Structure formats: structure tokens, C-alpha cells
Amino acid sequence: MGRSPCCAEDANVKKGPWTPEEDQKLVDCINKHGHGSWRALPKLAGLNRCGKSCRLRWTNYLRPDIKRGKFTEEEERVIVNLHAVLGNKWSKIATHLPGRTDNEIKNYWNTQIRKKLLNMGIDPHTHKPRTDLNHLLNLSQLLCASQLGNLNLMNNPWETAFKLQVDAAQVAKTQLLQNLLKIISTNIGSQNPYPFEGLLNGTTTLSDKELAPIPQNITNNAGATEFQAMENSCTYFEGGLNNESKPGIYNQSLSNSFEQTENPVLPELVSESHDHTSPINHMEKTDTTTDSTIYEAWEKLIMEDDDDGSCWKEFLDLTSSSSSPISW
């Protein structure tokens, strides 16, 4: 159509931050006349602004019903859940959050929630686990697919939407698995016979583009240590995200769950405490690892709340059938 911008015809129209005087004029005018026509309003109010600018100022700032201040955890939850269903439809999301504007929600998403989701290893666009670990791409997708079901077969968009809102604990597990696989694959390359060591003792964080090489001279943990680490991971995820799990809904505020992690990509998998009072770090290392112990811990983690656990079991069977120590 080639329509010209609303203010193009008037180069003298003011732009930039609004002054208190302008605000007052706008409020007075709308209180007096309403805003039947935004295009006509500036002249009526005596403002050297375009109608669009007036509308924006009113809807995003001056409207009397605007709620100011920090977003609550409940609001944050609502935004995440609605975004999983609606995508970047900020105005639609805003209709579910009284007093919040689409602009405010959009800003909050871009500056806060997006980062948190990325930290959790969740793609903010798809709300699915990130699959940018190229060498694990196929497996990750398989796992996601097994959790999500076959979305392509669903015709009902709401059903699809609910499926997309994967239970966060499942997402977290996938991430945990990805992280473990990343370490394994990295250490296969370095011929490290104890690929889980760094993960378990906290020396390896998964934010590293190249995971730090694990010293060969570290003797390995006893089985109890690995299990402790797994339990920590488990508590971390389940306590953080899966309480009273209602399928498809993030139950826990993101601000509580992963904020303190230093990992820009994935959640940390070990206890926050890295001091020497930590039972993990403090435990005497006497035994060489048996991979079966690791798998046992995994089995416990996986079977605890997996309904049928079939996809995990298949994975375990696959990995357990590998010779020991790990050799892929």
C-alpha cells in the first residue's frame, strides 16, 4: 500500500522523552475528551507530538491502572507459561496480567526471563531443551521427541501447546543427560578413564566451551559419593522445578531456581557449595570408580518419578551394554 508513516508529513513533531508538562497535557486531554482519535488528539491537547507517540505514552506509562514495580513470581510464571503457548504475542500475554503493559512484559522477557531460561538450558523460543551441542544433537532431539510425543500428528493447537510446555523436571533431566554425555564425549577424546570425575567433584562446569581437562592423578570417588552427587542433582531439579508437578507448567519461579548459577548455558549439576566442608569434596577417595555405580545412581534418578521410564531404560540399557570402563 505504501502508506506514509503517521508523522512523516510533519518533520517538526517532537520526539524523545516526554516532559512532565506534556504528560499533564495528555492526561488532562484524555480525561476531558477521551481518546477517540489518536491522530486528532495532539492538536486537541496542544501537544507537538504525533498521535502514535501520544497513544504509546498513555498506554505504556500514563494510564491510571498501570501497575508499577517488580514482577511477582506469579506474574513471572504466567508470562513463561503464556509465552510457551502464544509466543511473542506480548499484547495477548498482557491481557492476562492486569496492570502490566505489553511493552513492559516484552522488556522483562528480553532482559530477565530469556536469560534465565538460557541459563537453564531451555531455548526461550521453543521452551524446549537447547540442542546446540552439535555432537549430541541427534540424541537430544530423540529424547525431546520421546518426551513431547509426536507433535506433528496433533491437529489441536492447544494440545500441541500443552505438549510444548514440557514438564520442567523432564527438561532438566534431559539437560543433565546432555551434560553427562558432553563430559563423556569430551573425555573419550582425552582418553580419560573417569569421565564423571569433574562433574561429581565440581571441578568441571558445563559452561566451558572446552571442558577443563580432568587431572589423571585424581583417584576416584566411592560409589556413595557419586550417589550423593546424583542426589544433589536430583534435589536441585526436583526441588527447584517439579514440586507438585502439574504437567506442562513451570511450577517454580525462575528467580529461585537457577539464578545463581554461573553457567551461561546449562544449569550446574553439583551442589552450590564448593568449600571443603562439602561432603562430596571432603569424602576420602579410596576406590576406583565402577561405572556400574554411576549407572545405578542414574537408574535411581531416572526411575524415581518417571512414569514408565521406558525411554530412559532404553538409554541405560544401551549405555550399560557398552564395555566397562566406558568406551564408545
Sequence length of the chain is 328
Q: Determine, following the binding rule CB under 7 A, whether residue 147 of this chain makes contact with DNA.
A: no
Q: What is the DSSP letter of 127?
A: S
Closest by CA to 177, choosing from 216, 130, 212, 217, is: 130
Greatest CA separation found in the chain?
83
Report CA-CA distances (Å) from 99 to 68, 86, 103, 105, 308.
8, 19, 12, 11, 43
Q: Determine, following the binding rule CB under 7 A, whether residue 20 of this chain makes contact with DNA.
A: no
How big, in percent rounded to 5, are the helix, strand and coil portions of the chain?
55, 0, 45
> Which single residue is written with the C-alpha cell 513471572?
76
Candidates 44, 56, 118, 139: give the one binding DNA (CB under 7 A): 56
CB of 123 to DNA, least distance (A): 15
CB of 306 to DNA, least distance (A): 35
Q: What is the C-alpha to C-alpha distance for residues 246 and 234, in angstroms, rounded to an integer?
A: 18
For DNA, the closer of residues 84 and 169 by Cβ is 84
Q: Going residue by residue from 70 to 89, which x/- string records binding to DNA, judged by CB under 7 A? A: ------------------xx
CB of 29 to DNA, least distance (A): 13
Candidates 20, 31, 65, 111: give the one binding DNA (CB under 7 A): 111
Which range in 33-41, 150-158, 170-178, 300-308 contacts DNA by CB under 7 A? 33-41
Q: What is the C-alpha to C-alpha distance for residues 249 and 318, in angstroms, rounded to an integer?
A: 31
For DNA, the closer of residues 7 and 183 by Cβ is 7
Which range in 15-23, 185-193, 196-204, 208-216 contacts DNA by CB under 7 A? 15-23
Q: Determine, following the binding rule CB under 7 A, whether residue 90 of this chain makes contact with DNA.
A: yes
Q: What is the C-alpha to C-alpha distance for residues 83 and 79, in angstroms, rounded to an integer?
A: 6
Q: Determine, following the binding rule CB under 7 A, whether residue 107 of this chain makes contact with DNA.
A: yes
Burial of residue 296, with CB atoms counted within 10 A of its CB: 0-12 exposed, 13-18 middle, 19 or more buried: middle
> What number of chain residues touch DNA (CB under 7 A)?
37
Residues numbered 262 to 321 that lie near DNA (CB under 7 A) are: none
* Residues forming the site for DNA (CB under 7 A): 1-3, 5-7, 14-18, 37-39, 49, 51-53, 55-57, 60-61, 88-92, 102-104, 106-108, 110-112
